[in-house]
Structure 1
Amino acid sequence: MTEFMLLQSDSSVAQLDGIKPNHESGSFQKRGHKMRMLSPEEAEKLAKDLVLVSDFKQQKLEKEAQRNWDLFYKRNSTNFFKDRHWTTREFEELRACREFEDQKLTILEAGCGVGNCLFPLLEEDLNIFAYACDFSPRAVEYVKQNPLYDTQRCKVFQCDLTKDDLLENVPPDSVDVVTLIFVLSAIHPEKMHLVLRNIYKVLKPGKCVLFRDYGLYDHAMLRFKSANKLSENFYVRQDGTRSYFFSDDFLAELFLSVGYEQVVNEYVLRETVNKKEGLSVPRVFLQSKFLKPQRET
């Protein structure tokens, strides 16, 4: 079992959830299969959180999901998230996919945003060709306007992964690695299986999806007020974008129901301490690896 780390900086996640990073902060991280334990106050807050957003508003949010993400990128341009520079350790999973050192890999970044992961990755590893897609047409345009955008090394396209067939842009069984990082949480839980099924078609047999997203009882989940709850573990932010918080059991069942095999599926617990303000912020992520099985001979 290969240990791996994925691409999203904690400060970027904190910004998205309204948690202001501080340069005087420290952080402590541990991995494991155990869910974060709630304090009595936190457990009481969640137990009382029974009021859901109305069906009418929920339908409106679903209908306007693309528009809300497009407006997010219009407000923030390319300046919201920091570039995700991979360390040697973070490259380990890509190296493990290679049968020989200079093998050219094909990857798919599902939910590429404005390229904060894509461009550092292409700069670091010259033997990668990347497909990349995003829900937001505006985000895709920002990628194409980047001076580093090179059609010889990447193909970027707009895609609603719940309904647009990836095979229109990516050949079947052609991708060595799919990264699904802080993407699935933005999709309605009833449609998540459609994304995984879509990705399955372009992934080579025996190759993997690398997943990282919000874990159950993350600090961002506990900050939501009752008026923002859509369903169990699913919330809406003030700007209309939505976020689901995953348990390891839910995620495993989701992937396995589509036909993947589980390799790694564990919580990453990170405590961020703001020394100046005397605050301790518990962050919880789920970090996983799922495999498309080899074909039977």
Structure 2
Amino acid sequence: MEKEKDGGGWVTTKQPRDLTEAEKQKLAEDETCVSDFKQNKLELEAKKNWDLFYKRNSTNFFKDRHWTTREFEELIAESREGKQKSLLEVGCGVGNTVYPLLDASPEIFIHCCDFSPRAVQFVKEHSAYDPARVNAFQCDITCDDLTNNIAASSVDMVTMFFVLSAIHPDKMLQSIQNIYKALCPGGLVLFRDYGLHDHAMLRFSKGHKLSENFYVRQDGTRAFYFSTDVLSDLFIKAGFDVVVNEYVYRETVNKKEGLSVPRVFVQSKFSKKIAENS
């Protein structure tokens, strides 16, 4: 496996993480998927489950994502020809990407949306919320038209950090196609999400598997674990070009339990073809 360390201490690679024999056996033995009835119920209650998640955790669960500008320098690149840069943050949660980015890039305007109305309300209640720089709105990107809130082909960049994995695989392509409409020709999607064989994937006990690489947590929220091949296929089908598409991982140590934990993400950039006008 060819590896290269990036500036944040993560290792980048084109290949998925090698599994131990015990890990291979664990995945092979977990063949039974959750019943269709329960899966349909989870899909119908997806918004409610995420809203309850934010009700329980308020703004305290996720840390602010100060790493985004290190990993994606485009977020703080100077605007061209004096034009204000615009960004769409999909799955904004309570603003853990939005507010660090407003500080790091004073010229940027951010549109941000989330499935959960409660999460969007937390964004709007933040002391730094300024309608002159932020447009926060509730949206289901699997079916809602983003151009009801954003002009078509108008945003320079879209960030998708740990959001596509929460969407049912059957609805992922439509979600990406909806994002495509809002992005200007030549614009970029900046992406990070859970990767195949991440430690969180291997921790699921039997009874949590929904389909291949797709699992449900105890609270009813769901997580898909991407291979780079699956991810590139989705974005190519939606009309994008692949700029970068890699696994990033590192071993993190749980000192209390004396465990070395392999975290695996996929980190990618996709561009909208310049020749396209919509």
Please report the TM-score for the alignment, with normalisation by the length of structure 1.
Answer: 0.88
For 1:296 and 1:195, locate their aligned partners in 2 and report how far apart those are by CA, in whole Å: 18
Residue 56 (structure 1) aligns with: 37
For 1:156 and 1:44, locate their aligned partners in 2 and report how far apart those are by CA, in whole Å: 45
Residues 87 and 154 (structure 1 numbering): CA distance in 2 closer, same or farther, change over 3 Å? Answer: closer
- Show the 5 A alignment for 1:128-207: 128-207=108-187
Q: Does 1:73 align with 2:25?
A: no
For 1:97 and 1:258, locate their aligned partners in 2 and report how far apart those are by CA, in whole Å: 28
Structure 2 spans left out of the alignment, 5+ residues:
none
Query: How much does 1:152 deviate?
Result: 0.5
Structure 1 spans left out of the alignment, 5+ residues:
7-26
Kept in 2: contact 1:132–1:156 (CA 8 A):
yes
* Equivalent position amino acid for 2:225 in 1: F
Residue 222 (structure 1) aligns with: 202
Query: How much does 1:156 deviate?
Result: 0.3
Residue 262 (structure 1) aligns with: 242
For 1:268 and 1:97, locate their aligned partners in 2 and report how far apart those are by CA, in whole Å: 27
Cα offsets for 1:73-117 (capped at 9, x unmatched):
0000111111122476345222457335x6420000000000111
For 1:255 and 1:204, locate their aligned partners in 2 and report how far apart those are by CA, in whole Å: 16
**Structure 1 ranges of 4+ moved more than 4 A:** none
Residues 91 and 229 (structure 1 numbering): CA distance in 2 closer, same or farther, change over 3 Å? Answer: closer
Higher mean displacement: 119-128 or 36-45: 119-128
For 2:9 and 2:242, locate their aligned partners in 1 and report how far apart those are by CA, in whole Å: 27
* Equivalent position amino acid for 2:222 in 1: R
SS at match of 2:130: coil
* Equivalent position amino acid for 2:73 in 1: E
For 2:204 and 2:83, locate their aligned partners in 1 and report how far apart those are by CA, in whole Å: 46
Kept in 2: contact 1:97–1:207 (CA 8 A):
no
Kept in 2: contact 1:106–1:129 (CA 8 A):
yes
For 1:210 and 1:85, locate their aligned partners in 2 and report how far apart those are by CA, in whole Å: 15
Residue 219 (structure 2) aligns with: 239
The count of residues paired between Structure 1 and Structure 2 equals 273
Cα offsets for 1:12-61 (capped at 9, x unmatched):
xxxxxxxxxxxxxxx96310101100000000110111111000000000
Kept in 1: contact 2:12–2:247 (CA 8 A):
yes
SS at match of 2:111: strand
SS at match of 2:248: strand
Higher RCO (C-alpha under 8 Å, 6+ residues apart)? 1
Kept in 2: contact 1:86–1:121 (CA 8 A):
no
SS at match of 2:34: coil
Residues 296 and 237 (structure 1 numbering): CA distance in 2 closer, same or farther, change over 3 Å? Answer: closer
For 1:296 and 1:192, locate their aligned partners in 2 and report how far apart those are by CA, in whole Å: 21
Q: Does 1:285 align with 2:276?
A: no
Kept in 1: contact 2:93–2:120 (CA 8 A):
yes
The two structures, once aligned, show a CA RMSD in angstroms of 2.0
Identity of aligned residues (%): 62
SS at match of 1:190: helix
